[in-house]
């Protein structure tokens, strides 16, 4: 992207994200950080908007000292620390944020951020991490594992999710340009919202990880301990196989998973970056059973030279090159069903046939390099500039002569 094209972007840019909370930081927040870094490098520091902000007053955050405009949820009891408890209010709350002074609005959305209200003269580009999982295809799975649903509130929750689905589709239709973090997310956007999107894989900080280390016999699973990650399936499979498994992560399912774990399974809880890097660099393989929209942790494992054993649906189809006779540099093995039996079958084959010997740590690292932050930023800059240029052309034609707009859009 040339400097000339970059300088065509407007100065007044709004960057919207659901929430900045110490209790909820992950891949989506990292994407927002890199979007912000790119805009700052282009001398286009954006104004940040969010439902709540619990990070700008901390000393160890990239948001320290930044101005973040928040919603009324910020002032509700436990609004900042437990923003999700106000789910029925969040669509309304995001619509109250005023971005009318900004020519370009960027939203990073996994729930409601894309619902920010804009005018036809503004360009709204939304980077979609996922349509709301629990409102669409994973609703029944969430309800089966929800304590609130089991307490007798399931009918009420279903009504609320029905309303959220309708708003989710409506708000998705407002966005001018949709970016999806994987082909799987793009298909879900098309299915649920009836909209096309362009795939832009999120940035993965591959340089944080080391790969030139000797491998142990231990398998590794790292993720938030929440129901949809299906760590329970991984633990049950390794209980049955009697193979060593280390689970790293924190979340509401930890107590349940600790009770489920057998003698060969160790739950370490949350670990610091250096410990995670060591575990990634020395494990035999990284095991992942969740249905992911993209899945940053598996790419981090490959950056560490570790092959991935993962569920063969969702975002992993974009990132894991499965062992086959035609793949010269495989990066993992995919199992076909989200069941204990399917995991056992693949891991048993991986062990008994010494499949792990087929993987080159160097090749795994080279493949992971494709997801570097520099690749994300370069592609995003190109997309932003092209989208803004097209938007300006349409706006210019409309202001000049409405009749010309018809010819521009529909031809002679």
Residues 227 and 350 in one domain: yes
- How confident is the model at residue 404, as a pLDDT? 58
Q: What is the pLDDT of residues 276-325, one digit of tens each?
A: 999 999 999 999 999 999 999 999 999 999 999 999 999 999 999 998 75
Share of the chain above pLDDT 90, in %: 79
Clarify whether residues 31 and 165 are in a common domain.
yes
Average pLDDT estimate for 193-210: 96
2-11, 81-90, 374-383: which is most confident: 374-383
Residues 6+ apart with CB under 8 A from 278: 213
Query: Which pLDDT value is given to residue 7?
Result: 60
Residue 104 sits in the same domain as residue 251: no
Other residues' Cβ atoms within 10 Å of the Cβ of residue 24: 17
Burial 223-240 (b: 16+ CB within 10 A, else e): bbbbbbbbbbbbbbbbbb
Helices (H), 206-253: 231-241
pLDDT for 148 equals 73
244 and 138 both lie in a single domain: no
How would residue 152 be classed by pLDDT, with cut points 50, 70 and 90?
Answer: confident
Mean pLDDT, residues 242-246 taken together: 98
User: Looking at residue 253, what is its pLDDT?
Assistant: 92
176 CB-near residues (< 8 Å, 6+ apart): 118, 123, 124, 125, 387, 391
Which range, of 66-75, 118-127, 357-366, 395-404, averages the lowest pLDDT? 395-404
What integer pLDDT is reported at residue 401 of this predicted model? 61
Do 94 and 211 fall within a single domain?
Answer: no
Are residue 50 and residue 73 in the same domain, yes or no? yes
Is residue 34 located within the same domain as residue 137?
yes
H/E stretch holding 378: helix 373-400
Are 362 and 266 contained in the same domain?
A: yes
Residue 182 near residue 202, CB atoms below 8 Å: no
- Kindly tell me if the per-residue pLDDT of 383 is higher than 60: yes
Q: Residue 234's pLDDT is what?
A: 98
Residue 315 near residue 181, CB atoms below 8 Å: yes
Q: What is the pLDDT of residue 297?
A: 94
* pLDDT value at 328 more than 90: no
Question: Which of the four pLDDT bands, split at 50, 70 and 90, describes residue 25?
Answer: confident
The residue with greater pLDDT, 125 or 141, is: 125
Confidence of residue 165 (pLDDT cuts 50, 70, 90): very high
User: What CATH number is attached to the domain comprising 154?
Assistant: 3.40.50.2000
Please state the rounded mean pLDDT for residues 353-373.
94
* Residue found under tokens 């503004």: 122
Residue 131 has pLDDT above 80, yes or no: yes
Q: Quick one: 141 and 215 in the same domain?
A: no
Q: What is the mean pLDDT of residues 112-123?
A: 96
pLDDT in tens, 330-353: 999 999 999 999 999 999 999 999
pLDDT given for residue 137 in this prediction: 83
* Same-domain status, 169 and 27: yes
Predicted confidence (pLDDT) at residue 382 exceeds the cutoff of 60: yes
Q: Is the pLDDT of residue 271 over 50?
A: yes
Range 196-207 burial, b when 16+ CB lie within 10 A, else e: ebeebbbbbebe
Instruction: List b or e across 109-130, with b for residues whose CB sees 16 or more CB atoms inside 10 angstroms.
Output: bbbbbbbbbbeeebbbbbbbbb
Q: Which two tokens stand for residue 147?
A: 């304590």
pTM of the entire predicted model: 0.89
Are residue 320 and residue 391 in the same domain, yes or no? no
Alpha carbon distance 74, 315 (integer Å): 33
Q: Which domain holds residue 356?
A: 206-370
Question: Taking all residues of the chain, what is their mean pLDDT, rounded to a whole number?
Answer: 91
Q: Does 137 lie in the same domain as 44?
A: yes
Q: How far is CA 211 from CA 276, 288, 361, 373, in A?
A: 12, 19, 6, 18
Q: Quick check: 406 pLDDT over 60?
A: no
Residue 3 clears pLDDT 50, i.e. is over it: no
Q: Is the pLDDT of residue 403 over 70?
A: no
Our count of domains for the chain comes to: 2
Mean pLDDT check: name the lowest of 94-98, 145-149, 247-251, 266-270.
145-149
* Integer Cα distance of 338 and 234 in angstroms: 10
């Amino acid at each position: 992207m040339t400097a000339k094209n970059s300088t065509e972007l407007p100065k007044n840019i709004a960057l919207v994200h659901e929430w900045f909370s110490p209790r909820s930081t992950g891949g989506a927040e990292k994407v927002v950080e890199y979007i912000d870094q790119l805009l700052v490098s282009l001398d286009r520091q954006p104004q940040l908007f969010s439902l709540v902000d619990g990070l700008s007053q901390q000393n160890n955050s990239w948001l320290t000292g930044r101005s973040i405009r928040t919603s009324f949820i910020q002032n509700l009891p436990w609004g900042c620390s437990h923003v999700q408890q106000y789910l029925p209010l969040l669509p309304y709350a995001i619509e109250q944020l005023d971005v009318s002074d900004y020519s370009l609005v960027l939203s990073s959305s996994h729930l409601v951020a894309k619902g920010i209200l804009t005018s036809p003269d503004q360009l709204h580009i939304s980077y979609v991490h996922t349509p709301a999982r629990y409102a669409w295809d994973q609703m029944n799975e969430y309800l089966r594992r929800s304590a609130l649903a089991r307490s007798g509130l399931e009918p009420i929750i279903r009504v609320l999710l029905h309303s959220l689905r309708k708003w989710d589709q409506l708000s998705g239709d407002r966005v001018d340009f949709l970016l999806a973090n994987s082909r799987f997310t793009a298909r879900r956007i098309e299915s649920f919202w009836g909209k096309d999107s362009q795939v832009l894989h999120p940035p993965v900080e591959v340089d944080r990880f080391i790969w030139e280390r000797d491998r142990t016999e231990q398998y590794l699973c790292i993720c938030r301990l929440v129901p949809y990650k299906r760590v329970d399936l991984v633990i049950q499979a390794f209980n049955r196989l009697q193979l060593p498994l280390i689970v790293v992560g924190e979340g509401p399912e930890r107590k349940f998973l600790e009770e489920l774990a057998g003698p060969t399974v160790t739950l370490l809880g949350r670990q610091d970056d250096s410990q995670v890097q060591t575990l990634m660099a020395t494990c035999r393989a990284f095991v992942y059973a969740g249905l992911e929209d993209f899945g940053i942790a598996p790419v981090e494992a490959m950056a560490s030279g570790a092959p991935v054993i993962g569920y063969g649906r969702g975002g992993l189809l974009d990132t894991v090159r499965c062992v086959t006779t035609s793949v010269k540099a495989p990066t993992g093995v995919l199992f076909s069903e989200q069941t204990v039996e399917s995991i056992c079958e693949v891991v048993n084959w991986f062990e008994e046939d010494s499949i792990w010997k087929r993987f080159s740590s160097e090749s795994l690292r080279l493949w992971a390099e494709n997801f570097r932050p520099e690749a994300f930023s370069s592609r995003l800059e190109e997309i932003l500039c092209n989208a803004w240029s097209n938007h300006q052309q349409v706006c210019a034609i409309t202001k000049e002569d409405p009749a010309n707009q018809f010819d521009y859009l529909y031809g002679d």
